[in-house]
Amino acid sequence: MAAVPEKLEKVRDEMFRIRWEGGHVSEFPFRYLRQNCRCAACRDEFTGRMILDPESVPKDLKASKAALVGNYALAFAFSDGHGSGIYTFEALREICPCCAKAQA
Ligand SMILES: [Zn+2]
Ligand SMILES: [Zn+2]
Q: Considering every ligand atom, which ligand is closest to the CA of 103? A: 2
Q: Considering every ligand atom, which ligand is closest to the CA of 77? A: 1
CA of 21 to the centre of ligand 2 (A): 12
Query: Which domains, and CATH codes, for the chain?
Result: 5-103 (3.30.2020.30)
The percent of residues above 70 in pLDDT, for the chain, comes to 95
pLDDT (tens digit, 9 = 90+) per residue, 22-73? 999 999 999 999 999 989 999 998 998 999 999 999 999 999 889 999 999 9
Judged against a pLDDT cut of 60, whether residue 1 lies above it is answered with no
- For residue 3, the number of C-alpha atoms closer than 13 Å in the C-beta half-sphere is 14
CA of 40 to the centre of ligand 2 (A): 26
66 and 10 in contact (C-beta within 8 Å)? yes
The mean of the pLDDT values for the chain is 92
